[in-house]
A and B are shown apart, each in its own frame.
Chain A
Amino acid sequence: MSTIHDIRSSHFKSDAREAIANVELRGALARAQEQSNSKRDRAIQRIADDWESMRDQASAIKTWTLENLGEQLELFERNAVKNGIQVHWAEDAENACRLVNEICADAEARSVIKSKSMVTEEIGLNHTLEAAGLEVVESDLGEWIVQIAGETPSHIVAPAIHHTRESIHRLFEETLGRKIPTDAESMTMVAREVLRQAFLRADVGITGVNYLVAETGSFLVLENEGNQRLTTSLPRVHIAVSGIEKIVPRLADLDLFLRMIGRSGTGQVVTTYQNLFCGPRRSPDEDGPRDMHMVLVDNGRTKLLASEKRRQTLQCIRCGACLNICPVYRQIGGHAYGSVYPGPIGSIFTPQVAGLHKASQLPFASSLCGACKDVCPVKIDIPGILLDLREEIAEHGEGQRDQETELKMKRESPAFRRWSSLMQSPRKYRMSGALVRTMALIASHTSLFDRFIPPLSAWRSTRSVPRPEGGSFRARWRRRTEANR
């Protein structure tokens, strides 16, 4: 069964409340957003005229590939096998973890080094490897911080975005049990020393994948720290784990995507390291892994193919631009979403993959402002899919909602049925309008009645109640028409 590791999205409301109260977190998020957005804007301005047509092209390539997904994946497999890559198919998270564990066992591995990968977070790979007695070390600096803190990433590109330099310094000193200078460079050097030893110990290196290339059977993985090169060149086995949607048809397509992903995600013109893997060591190579494995993970993704609209979710290239622009994410950060995929993309990905009952609040955790759709490099209609999911949850979701959503629907569904009947009759509309105005007028003076009207008390918890001007427009219009007669 498809699932997302450690999912706790049904606690969204209380987790978001906690996040809002964390002033340090909100400050860090606002600064990070400002910085990444201005870098993104500058990087895109340099190719301003082309950006929209690049988005169209990228979206078209992804759309076509998803329409031909089975065929493209088989093509990838055939070509990858020719390159000496051992290809494995995993139906769900459990299956994927078992496959990786078996490969590690066959290699008699004791220690695993990893570079940043969201899909391995999704399937909870570290957890199962550690349960099997393996040492697992994350080598991306942000991922390592999150790992030693015992946390999950709070952003798909910047996993430790919720931390400040001070909190990281505290964490390093506690973990390593010694005094460390507070400047960023010294702290990075300390991490480097620790990680270098882990690289040298590792028997297996595990990476994610950014692009599977069908026509060549090779795959590309991006990074900024050089840690992935060590992860894939020192250990004797390289295991890459990829969601099945990460495929593009041609090597030449990478030209487009590589110009877009860095600009969108981190405001870089290109990502620092672009590693294209074409198979394990072969003679006369003197280094590189002896075995290379590719684990292709479905974990609920094929379910999304049935609907043309929802299928767009799988176009995602995990750039993180939607998280960086999202005004909701800005206030609560990633952990409140209770899924390794937070923010706008997470709010459509998580409920579809993990199941509505696990994440039925997330599609409603948006003001539908649409900023995510505007920045998405592959033009995913995130607000449209949020609306689609809202409809499924509200109208066909009985028995598939978490407790919070169930309570909400119990209030909301009958209210909207009444609303609908009122709005279809001008007479009833007029009468209920007068009633609402009177109530609002009273409520603008006193909170005595709030407890009988939950939406009113919810509104007042952060805002004053708007005072109606008095009378309706239609009444004023009628008086005017009569006066003119």
Chain B
Amino acid sequence: MRVQLFVTCLVDQFRPSVGEATVEILERCGCTVEFDDRQTCCGQPAFNSGHHEEAKAVVARTIDLLAEWLDEGGDAIVCPSGSCSAMIAHSSELLADDPVRSEKARRVAERTWELTQFLIDEMKIDDLESSWKGTITLHDACHGLRDLGIRDQPRRLLAKVKGLEVKECASCDRCCGFGGTFSVNYPLISGAMADDKIEEIDASGVDAVVSGDVSCLMQLEGRLQATNSRVKALHLAQLLVERDAGS
């Protein structure tokens, strides 16, 4: 299976190891991973802030790029972010004024998966033969959870990780407070929202909070560090790639 990694700008610039882990996981599953380095961003920051004209130009370009690759025989586009995958899923609506592009966007969306969704739903693989010693809790990233229905997939993958204990927090599906530009327009509210989760995460005694979106992780990590917590923030791919690691 030929897979195009849609790496996302945040992973590319801030957490490249998440991209590398994603590649390794996909290769472990027998995929041939490709990466078109003309990729930039899914367009979400501008779209969510109301600047739709600015977003459209970026979305159209990304869609063209991915559609072209599918036309050349690519099979699947995989992205280590629920949020960016959801943006691709919504692109055809945003591009509705341009029917040809909009149709292309629909085709791209049909072949795009968030990483855990791809592994479980498409590849039917839940055991990555990974091992990680320690205790973690999950944070369900909002867009993955509510736009794409990703809830069981990460849990099924984590259940197969040797040495790992997953402690669920009641607030696992409550927003971390990131929300794109919301996090800098309303930093106090955003920080209070993170605190609300972190209190429970800290009290649960886990080694790390794990999520499928780097944006949520930077928010949670930023607040965890600011409050001197010892809990780490890890991307699912960073954990799932490990074969012999601990906290």
Residues on A facing B (Cβ under 8 Å)? 13, 16-17, 20, 26, 30, 327-328, 330-332, 363-371, 373-374, 387, 389-395, 408, 412-413, 416-417, 419-420, 422-424, 426, 429, 433, 436-437, 440, 454-455, 458-459, 461-466, 468-469, 471-478
Contact = CB atoms under 8 A, between A and B. Distances in A.
A240 to B, nearest CB: 37
A367 B191 contact: no
A387 B221 CA distance: 27
A462 B223 contact: yes
Nearest to B145: A370
B57 interface: yes
B146 A367 contact: no
A45 B189 CA distance: 32
Given A331-B193, A466-B221, A477 B188 contact: no
Nearest to B143: A370
Contacts of B190: 367, 462
Given A419-B46, A476-B16, A466 B51 contact: no
A131 B41 CA distance: 58
Contact of A462 (B143, B173, B194): B194
Interface in B178-229: 178-194, 196, 218-219, 221-223, 225-226
Interface stretch (B6-14, B97-105, B108-116): B6-14
B72 interface: no
Contacts of B7: 473-474
Contacts of B147: 370
Given A416-B51, A463-B194, A429 B142 contact: no
A424 B182 contact: no
27 contacts: A20-B189, A26-B192, A328-B193, A330-B193, A364-B49, A367-B142, A367-B180, A370-B142, A370-B143, A387-B47, A390-B50, A391-B51, A420-B51, A424-B57, A424-B61, A429-B9, A454-B184, A455-B184, A463-B226, A466-B218, A468-B15, A469-B16, A473-B7, A473-B11, A473-B12, A474-B7, A474-B35
Given A393-B50, A458-B185, A327 B175 contact: yes
Interface of B: 7, 9, 11-17, 19-20, 23, 35, 37-41, 43, 45-55, 57-58, 61, 142-143, 146-147, 173-175, 177-194, 196, 218-219, 221-223, 225-226
B19 A473 contact: yes
Contacts of B194: 462-463
A246 B140 CA distance: 36
A412 B175 contact: no
Contacts of B183: 367, 459
Given A20-B192, A26-B192, A462-B190, A412 B14 contact: no
A424 to B, nearest CB: 5
Given A371-B146, A468-B14, A477-B35, A332 B189 contact: yes
Given A366-B179, A416-B51, A419-B45, A331 B189 contact: yes
B244 to A, nearest CB: 21
B196 A331 contact: yes
A437 B14 CA distance: 7
Contacts of A394: 49-52
Contact of A426 (B38, B179, B181, B187): B38
A364 B182 contact: yes
Nearest to A432: B13
B16 A395 contact: no
Nearest to A405: B185
B187 A459 contact: yes
Among B43, B178, B184, B196, the most chain A Cβ lie within 10 Å of the Cβ of B184
A30 B196 CA distance: 9
Given A367-B193, A371-B146, A461-B191, A473 B222 contact: no
A15 to B, nearest CB: 11
Contacts of A419: 45-46, 54
B217 to A, nearest CB: 9
B146 A469 contact: no
B50 A437 contact: no
A36 to B, nearest CB: 15
A469 B188 contact: no
A412 B49 contact: yes
A264 B145 CA distance: 21
A203 B85 CA distance: 61
Among B7, B17, B147, B182, the most chain A Cβ lie within 10 Å of the Cβ of B182
